[in-house]
Structure 1
Amino acid sequence: MAPKNTFGVFLLFCLILLLLSVESRWTSLGTHEKYFSSLRRTKASIHNTILPDFEMRNYTQTLDHFNFGPNSYDTFLQRYAMNFKYWGGANTSSPIFVYIGDEEELFIDKFTTDFLVTNAPHFKSLLVFIEHRYYGESNPFGSMEEAYKNSSTLQYLSSEQALADCAQLITDLKKNLSAENSPVIVVGGSYGGMLAAWLRLKYPHITIGALASSAPILYFDDITPHNGYCSVVSRDFRESSESCYRTIKNSWHGIMKTATQYEGLTALSQMFNTCRPLTSVEELTNVLEHIYFVRAQYNDPSSNLVNELCEAIDKDSHEINPLRRIAYGVKAIHGFSRCLNVWSVEEMNEFDRLFGWRWQNIKEVLKDFGSNVIFSNGLRDPYSSGGVLQNISSTIVAVTTTKGIPSVSVCARMGA
């Protein structure tokens, strides 16, 4: 039976969220940042140090929760972290806050844990962070090469299995701590936010509430329009500078036209000072998409990344060629003495840490998503993110923030 203060804990938690937050534009999940998230990984490069008061543990997890094949009873070690510093103890029914890991290694640092650590003393909560299977050290087959070898080993990488992982781990953890009466609230962001919401829906006996941040839980079944994310990114640039917006929008046609001309790729390579000669026009559009998306993704007031780029693009108002204005802007923000690094899909390591996420995108999470180039004016089909921007019911509440940033990854190329 749930403790008497369970509902009060949940309401108080929601109140804290509302007090800490102000109005948002959009929240979403996607894939593009999972391909080319250099800025995010730069931030993550400081994540390797585990914060004090957290201890890393391993849980013996079931490989297959739903079938009865020969390998279904195999197990693997799933990594998770715990922080007992603020917990009031099982006998007080103090809550447990569980962070659901997403499509990357579990990082225990200030960047990842700050929100829950800030709220933990008030609620006297236990903190638990769970790493997603197939990412980081929670690999069922020992190595990425083995895990990502073929569909036989990849078949166990799914959101459904990940939810069952969390349900099993949380249940056993509460039992081992004699904390059956401690209410659980799960928290996640982007894909992890989707998992948090789904965990609450599919396993309501395990958690009393979920905070799903930047989670496109309404994307599926055509509930939301199919141009949401890119329209917001476009609006970011348009609000910064109408001239910048139109220059970017018009540049795509110029890039494609130039690429079809004799020595066109050579001309583009020289114009953008690429680190090696372009072998396809997609190599250039890939990196330009990445630049625009990341700048919208991380355009916080202190950095003004979108404004910085637009100011560089608009600097020479007498230059009428949109390609030259774009090239100047890109070189200005990256340094005129540095070449522009480009890549092809073939150059990406097949067994890198992003391969599992690409598998999930195509297999289940984003399988209906089309491709898109920002400001493309119909060159490619946009699709939406499905963020929740208003209350759905008295128990499904939207908490928004001013100038909220979209997830850069929604405009990914599926099948790349």
Structure 2
Amino acid sequence: MQALSVLASWFRLKYPHVAIGALASSAPILYFDDITPQDGYYSIVTKDFREASETCYQTIKNSWSIIVEVGSKPGGLSVLSKTFKTCKPLKSVNVLKNYLVLMYSRAAQYNSPPKYPVTIVCGGIDGAPPETDILDKVFAGVVAYTGNRTCYVNAPRNISETTVGWRWQTCTEMVIPIGITNNTMFQPDPFILSSFIEECRSLYGVPSRPHWVTTYYGGHDIKLVLHKFGSNIIFSNGLRDPYSSGGVLVNISESIVAVHTVNGSHCLDILHANQSTDPVWLVRQREVEVKIIKGWITQYYFDLLAFSQ
């Protein structure tokens, strides 16, 4: 959904005669080139888990070396397959590691009320009996997050057109340099542009354009640039959303404003409202955004009348 929010802000900038304004929810418009540190995303994932539970954070952080150690031994992949009840025998520890990284990331990105997935994962990990080893604790977190299933990790799945399209988009035009450094609960996996370009070329046979976004839409010196020619954009963010690391978090002008909540998650403000479970801070965030948008519309019709006379 972040692609649509990014496009909303860009659409307003490029076509102000068509769009009166834009609500860019969880739009990481600064996660291009070298504007945002590449580990911004996973640093917030780590922060979310650590704030939820220090012991959960430590368990996850310590689990990677154990997964690699077990998997490197003779018969180790079979042990991991059994421990995590995989749907197919593991052929590489990377399959398991990638699954867990994605699970933790999704839990943090969509850590929304009333369920709060990060709390659910950590509840499974911390709720395991004291004598449970680290890998069994991690698996308990997997079960807590996904529910009871016959198997996990590498289940058959249908890849949606959205997933395929997003992969193409990020390979060609929207190159988001997300990497993992030593400052997170994950094993380091830095973003290396040359490797990324080669991988995309092998997948689609086309070159990546890592600087296209900032050339076409801007991004560097965003405050100075948008203050001079932009207007009527709300950049809304939940600070628990890892993509908020590449978002606009301060007001740029009177009409380009940042609205954020400390406990919000990805695009939470534009998801379907639930009067019985939405916290007060989320309701107020939406009210602020609606008030701003109403002001845009009122001003538009006022100007329309004034200039038609």
- TM tier, smaller: 0.5 to 0.7
Provide the residue aligned with 1:306 in structure 2.
118
| Aligned equivalents of 1:302, 1:405: Cα separation in 2 | 12
What code does the residue aligned with 2:118 have?
V
User: What's the counterpart of residue 170 of structure 2?
Assistant: 361
From 112, 136, 140, give the equivalent of 1:328.
140
2:151 equivalent in structure 1: 339
One-letter identity of the residue aligned with 1:207: A
Larger Rg: 1
Change (3 A) 1:325 1:296: same
Contact 2:5 2:24 in 1 (8 A): yes
Structure 1: how far apart are the matches of 2:157 and 2:164?
Answer: 9
Q: For 2:117 and 2:15, how far apart are their aligned partners in 1?
A: 41
Q: Which residue of 2 aligns with 1:251?
A: 63
1:233 maps to 2:93:
no
User: Which residue of structure 1 aligns with residue 307 of structure 2?
Assistant: none
> Which of 259, 265, 280 pairs up with 1:399?
259
Offset of residue 243 of structure 1: 0.2
Counterpart residue type for residue 305 of structure 1: P
| CA-CA distance at 1:211 after TM superposition | 1.3
User: Are residues 1:203 and 2:15 paired?
Assistant: yes
Residues 388 and 351 of structure 1, relative CA distance in 2, 3 Å threshold = closer
Letter in 2 for 1:363: T
Change in CA separation of 1:391 and 1:202 when aligned onto 2, cut-off 3 Å: same
Whether 2:75 is the aligned partner of 1:285: answer no
Matched residue of 2:24: which SS? strand
Instruction: Name the aligned partner's letter for residue 365 of structure 1.
Output: M
The AA in structure 2 aligned to 1:313 is I
Q: List gaps (5 residues or longer) in structure 1.
A: 1-188, 408-416
Flag the 1:288–1:217 CA change in 2: closer, same or farther, 3 A.
same
Deviations 1:318-338 (A, max 9, x none): 336322211233234445563
Equivalent-residue separation in structure 1 for 2:184 and 2:136 (angstroms): 17
In 2, the alpha carbon distance for the partners of 1:249 and 1:287 equals 15
Deviations 1:348-368 (A, max 9, x none): 768844222111111110254
Aligned-partner Cα distance in 2 for 1:367–1:240? 27
Kept in 2: contact 1:289–1:373 (CA 8 A): no
Looking at structure 1, the residues matched to 183 and 129 of structure 2 have their Cα atoms a distance apart, in angstroms, of: 22
Q: Secondary structure at the match of 2:37?
A: coil
Shift of 1:228: 2.0
Q: 1:320 to 1:194 in 2, by over 3 A?
A: same
Corresponding residue for 1:270?
82
Alpha-carbon separation, structure 2, partners of 1:220 and 1:396: 20
Partner SS for 1:262: coil
Partner of 1:45: none
Q: Distance in 1 between matches of 2:160 and 2:31?
A: 29
Does the aligned pair in 2 maintain the 1:259–1:265 contact within 8 Å?
yes
Range with greater deviation from structure 2 (353-362 or 320-329): 320-329
Deviations 1:229-267 (A, max 9, x none): 222211111111100001001111111121111111101
Q: Which of 26, 49, 61 lines up with 1:214 in the alignment?
A: 26
1:197-246 deviation digits (Å, cap 9, x = unpaired): 11122222322322111101122242223222222211111111100001
Considering only aligned residues, what root-mean-square deviation do their CA atoms show, in Å?
2.9
Distance apart, 1:306 and its partner CA: 1.5
Alpha-carbon distance in 2 for matches of 1:373, 1:259 = 22
1:386 equivalent to 2:195? Answer no
Answering whether residue 40 of structure 2 is matched by residue 194 of structure 1, we say: no
Please say if residues 57 and 185 of structure 2, whose CA atoms lie closer than 8 Å, have aligned partners that are also in contact.
Answer: no
For structure 2, the residue ranges without an aligned partner over 5 or more in a row are: 192-241, 268-309
Contact 1:272 1:331 in 2 (8 A): no
TM-score where L is the length of structure 1: 0.47
2:120 alignment partner, SS class? helix
Q: Per-residue deviation at 1:372?
A: 7.7
